[in-house]
A and B are shown apart, each in its own frame.
Chain A
Amino acid sequence: MIQAVAPKIEKNYLNEKVGLLSWLLTTDHKRIAILYTFSITVFFFIGGFFALMMRLELLSPRNWLVSAETYNKLFTMHGIIMVWFFLIPSIPGTLGNFLIPMMVGAKDVAFPKLNLLSWYIFMLGGGVTVYALFRGGVDTGWTFYTPFSTTYSTTYVVAAAVGIFIAGFSTILTALNFIATIHSMRAPGLTWFKLPIFVWSMYANSVVLILNTPVLAITLVMLAVERIFTVGIFDPALGGDPVLFQHMFWFYSHPAVYTMVLPAMAVISEIVPAFSRKPLFGYKAVAFSSIAIAVVGFLVWGHHMFVAGESVYSALAFSFLSYCVAVPSAIKVFNWTATIHGGSVSWDTPMLYAIGFIGLFTIGGMTGLFLAALGLDVHVHDTYFVIAHFHYIMVGGSVMAFLGGVHYWWPKISGKMYPEGLARLSALIVFIGFNLTFFPQFVLGYLGMPRRYAAYPEEFQMLHVLSTAGATILGVGYVLPLCYLIWAWHYGRDATPNPWRATGLEWKSSSPPPTHNFEVTPIVTAKLPYDYEAMKEELELV
């Protein structure tokens, strides 16, 4: 095809239709992914602002910036926005939406209209929650524990619950769409064991979301009914049991933690082989470990209630099961490192984020085992140790992977390259800032600093100041990519269809892809996924 010189501006999904309405009424999964990217970025910076305010307040042992009541609202809104409006929809809504149909070689997801509807529902839920925020916020903590949330809190609990309830439908619809797509829209020849691990992980993630989100919905309904009709569903004076609320909430929320990290693992499993120039080590083990995490993740929720009045026998069972769930996570970590081992590794930005993810996720996961131990949990329960632990998973894990994934697929999404030097620098800043923010919190927690307090004894000040300093650096690390990625969207140099020389169907299409993803429906003939050996031979031939 040498004579067919490509015209300067090809038709692709970005320029085929123009105007605001073409975006708001689109059913193209790639454009919906961009809509999600835009909205979760806004929510991320709202949630980040609350975090910054909290860190500033904690510079001093006494309340110097905000009152204790305002501080309660700050950490609640930080949690609600970050969990339900950033972490859970982040990678599925953006990269998942963009990539799953491309990776399976389909024109679109199974139900494109439902996909768009899901974004509108998400925005409606976000809108209601932001309304609750502007009317004065919520102060229950993101976990809405009863009886405080049902009886004593005077803030906008029901409004926030309605916002989360609505957003839950969006999550369910997206998950349903992905499962149906992966089952029935795969290209000819693309069998299950030729699918990229990204698809496997997102599949496991969607299964979890289908099964746990409805339980959150009904739990929030019960909470709202109790609060509105004062009937005491969880009130011990009226025959209720507050621990039941915790059971139902964590039946949702513990698997929800895995729905934040499974997509992150999905991204890492793509980046690591591409930049090590090696097939993923132990493909089937990694694929099935995603399913194992999804299933076993449902059996461990009781470890949040060791000191809440749960029976000791039940606590024993949950403790044991919590240790079990570490096994599939460890399988993944070992397989990623085995993939890197002996590979010809190139240190591009996505790989830097991936390496950071593996290290930080390991620390986060290992400290999780501390918390699953019955005796030790009594000591560190509800302290900064817990805060540090889950931020290592959610920020050190999910956010790092999200940034890594955005850099990795940015050429495909936008058709432009990002500035590599600046990107490497900001990956470094994020890594340093993150560790400086959250490592002191492990120490703080172990020394006994409880979570959710605006004031604290003076001997903790040193560590809190360190943490706040780290948060500032982390903030810079997040603003930088925002700036240079927007810059690159307009001024970056054009990307080739496959700038990383990676496998996977998404790289077979042009950058950015045409509206229907592929000029012709791809037929998969490769024997293996991640066949970097074959690709090496191919390149040598050229």
Chain B
Amino acid sequence: MSDPLVLELREQFATPEQQRHTSSIGIWLFLMTEVMMFGGLFVAYTVYRFNHPQAFAQGSAEMDIVLGSINSAILLTSSLTMGLAEFSAKFGRVRLSGILLFTTILIGLAFLGIKFTEYYEHYQQHEAPGVWFNHVGPHAPEVQMFFVFYFLMTGLHAVHMSIGILLLLGLIARNMVGSFSAAYHTPITVVGLYWHFVDIVWIFLYVIFYLPGLHK
């Protein structure tokens, strides 16, 4: 019984296919809870943007569109490398898969680096909400509301990115001791799903925070 698939079969399952199907349902259900969690923030953002359109446009005009766009492209690239890592693992090329996972981590870290550069710029311009906020001009409280959601939503996104990077590190460690093969690479697929989902969230965050300020 040297088949790795059989070795990885948990006792509550009858077949490897049943186990794969179940874990697929499990991770997708988990991702739907994430949809609803970010969804709550998107609803709150929409309500306030509907109530204070000018203030939100004003706040959005303070965004760094260059850094934001570069960051979006970077994150999409990380999704490609993640996807290719799954693809390689599927065909048993686990060494290549490991290299691609490592690349994904580096790209993810670059994203977080740029993100924190942006945060720091906003902080220096007194745009961080709370006691640090000091905005002159009309609609100051509502502009602060824009930044509350900017920091809350991109911050929550960054937390998810960090968790994703930790998960990727775990995958690389397991890959090094030879846990994965063409027959068994479910953890790579599962972490990949999570990583791509975080990417989708960013696509919408980019649209709602960076773009409205461009056309004034």
Q: Residues on A close to B: CB < 8 A?
A: 106-112, 172, 176-177, 179-180, 183-185, 210-215, 217-219, 221-222, 225, 229-233, 237-241, 244, 247-248, 251, 521
Contacts and interface: CB of A to CB of B under 8 A. Distances in A.
B55 to A, nearest CB: 7
Contacts of B145: 232-233, 238-240
Given A108-B12, A176-B26, A179-B25, A238 B144 contact: yes
29 contacts: A111-B26, A172-B33, A176-B29, A179-B25, A180-B22, A180-B26, A184-B22, A185-B22, A210-B36, A211-B32, A211-B36, A212-B36, A214-B36, A214-B39, A215-B36, A215-B39, A217-B37, A222-B40, A222-B44, A229-B129, A229-B131, A231-B148, A232-B145, A232-B148, A237-B141, A239-B141, A239-B144, A241-B48, A248-B43
A179 B148 contact: no
Given A108-B12, A176-B30, A218-B37, A231 B144 contact: yes
Interface string B134-153: 00000101101100100010
Nearest to A239: B142
A112 B40 contact: no
B12 A183 contact: no
Ranked 4 nearest A-B pairs via Cβ: A214-B37, A218-B40, A239-B142, A214-B36
B33 A210 contact: yes
Interface string B99-137: 000000000000000000000000000000111000000
A106 B13 CA distance: 9
Nearest to A177: B26
B25 A183 contact: yes
B188 to A, nearest CB: 18
Contacts of B47: 241, 244
Nearest to B149: A233
B33 A233 contact: no
Contacts of A238: 141-142, 144-145
B12 A185 contact: yes
A231 B30 contact: no
B148 A233 contact: yes
B147 to A, nearest CB: 9
Contacts of B144: 231-232, 238-239
Contacts of B62: none
Contacts of A230: 130-131
Contacts of A221: 152
Interface string B17-46: 010011001100110111011111101100
Nearest to B41: A218
Contacts of B3: none
A157 to B, nearest CB: 18
A505 to B, nearest CB: 16
B102 to A, nearest CB: 28
B20 to A, nearest CB: 10
Interface string B43-58: 1100110011001000
A248 B26 contact: no
B105 to A, nearest CB: 26
A229 B39 CA distance: 22
Contacts of A231: 129-130, 144, 148
A229 B12 contact: no
Contacts of B43: 247-248
A233 B44 contact: yes
Contacts of A210: 29, 32-33, 36
Nearest to B130: A229
A215 B12 contact: no
A176 B26 CA distance: 6
A276 B141 CA distance: 64
Contacts of B41: 218, 222
B25 A248 contact: no
A319 B90 CA distance: 53
